[in-house]
Amino acid sequence: MSSRINIARPQGPSYSPDPHGIGNSRPSATGYRAADPENPVEKLRYYAKQVEDYAEIYSQPLRPYLPAIGRFLIIVTFLEDSLRIATQWGDQLWYLHRHRSFPRGISHIFLILNVITMLVASGAVVAKRHTEYAVAGLLAVVIVQGFGYGLIFDMTFFLRNLSVIGGLFMVFSDSMISRKKLFAGIPSISENDRRKYFLLTGRVLLIFLFLGFIFQGSWSIGRAFLSLFGLVACVMVAVGFKAKWSASILVITLSIFNVAVNNWWSVHSAHPARDFLKYDFFQTLSIVGGLILLVNMGPGGLSVDEKKKTF
């Protein structure tokens, strides 16, 4: 008797044999349709879409603040550098005189111009005022310091600074988006094209930090796994495939790595490694800021994600 009643009774709304749509071709709650439920690649793609959708949902409260957070993190390395030059003025002058053969007056001018440019340009980036000139000034500081301190041919320094430059390109692209919103009714085809190329350049340059991480230090199983994982995410960012998702993964990975490895606050103030760790820490924060801007803006027109929308 009971078996007949149970067989005839329709299933309740809380029951679903395959709520995610993997076992059939119906679309899931996220709108993704599983074409081949037995294909492991299809399942992986589905779960990646789920993670991306949930990340989009839970990041909504932070989304209005992402541009400001990204901009601040990008310029924080320049603020730290300005403070370090000001507090170690004598040591900086001694190094330029002794090891770089700077004449006395030139070394003073070199340091003063660097500090003023970094402070003024950083303030302009945060305030969104004259962003183009501010980015150009910070780019000039990166290049001039590389030559001035003789670090331009140091591989780790070179790759890290390429990533910082990538973050500055993201700032410039963000300012172009703001101008587009301000003058929405005015056609600006050439500016849109320029923004695509700036975003592409910024994406590619941002990934060089991981190349620097791969080249330096001793190898271990954990380091090899992290390098491989980061390299895959970097390639995805560079080509613009699942760029927001992969950039978010890099933000989390770099943040954990930065706190765990570049923990300068745990080193004695007189230890010579403290300044190097502090420099690496704030520079990595700047690269994280560039990735946050990428998460906020998207990869731009020259990317796999955007091309998929047109086909």
pLDDT per residue as tens digits for the range 255-284: 888 898 888 999 888 888 888 888 889 988
Query: How many CB atoms neighbour CB 55 within 10 A?
Result: 14
173 belongs to a structural domain: yes
Task: Look at residue 10 and tell me if it is in a domain.
Answer: no
Q: Distances in Å between the alpha carbon of 278 and those of 43, 85, 126, 230, 284? A: 42, 13, 22, 22, 10
> Span 137-164, mean pLDDT?
88
Would the pLDDT of 33 be above 80? no
Closest residue by Cα to residue 291 from 57, 70, 81: 70
Does 6 reside within a domain?
no
Give the pLDDT of residue 37.
60
Tell me the C-alpha distance between 69 and 83, whole Å. Answer: 20
Q: Indicate if the pLDDT at residue 26 is higher than 50.
A: no
pLDDT at 93: 93
Domain assignment present for residue 202? The answer is yes
Residue 45 lies in a domain: no
Enclosing domain of residue 80: 59-310
Mean pLDDT, residues 242-253 taken together: 83
Cβ within 8 Å of residue 255, ≥6 positions away: 288
**Which comes out higher in pLDDT, residue 249 or 308?**
249
The whole-number pLDDT of residue 310 equals 59
Q: Provide mean pLDDT across the span 159-165.
A: 86
Radius of gyration of the chain (CA): 24
The chain-wide mean pLDDT, for the chain, equals 78
Residue 137 lies in a domain: yes
Q: How confident is the model at residue 55 (pLDDT cuts 50, 70, 90)?
A: low
pTM: 0.75
CA–CA gap between residue 301 and residue 46 (Å, rounded): 24
Residue 295 falls inside a structural domain = yes
- For the stretch 206-243, pLDDT in tens is 877 777 666 665 666 777 777 787 788 888 888 888 77
Domain total of the chain: 1
pLDDT(185) > 80? no
* DSSP-derived secondary structure for 249-263: HHHHHHHHHHHHH--
Please report which confidence band the pLDDT of residue 20 belongs to, taking 50, 70 and 90 as the band edges: very low
| pLDDT at residue 25, as a whole number | 46
Question: How sure is the predictor about 6, in pLDDT bands with cuts at 50, 70 and 90?
Answer: very low
For residue 8, the model assigns a pLDDT of: 47
pLDDT at 134: 94
Distances (CA, A) of 37 to 42, 79, 80, 274, 283: 7, 52, 52, 53, 44
Confidence of residue 22 (pLDDT cuts 50, 70, 90): very low
Average pLDDT over residues 276-294: 88
Residue 251 lies in a domain: yes
Structure confidence at residue 261 (pLDDT): 84
148 against 300, higher pLDDT: 148
Most confident of 79-88, 151-160, 280-289: 79-88
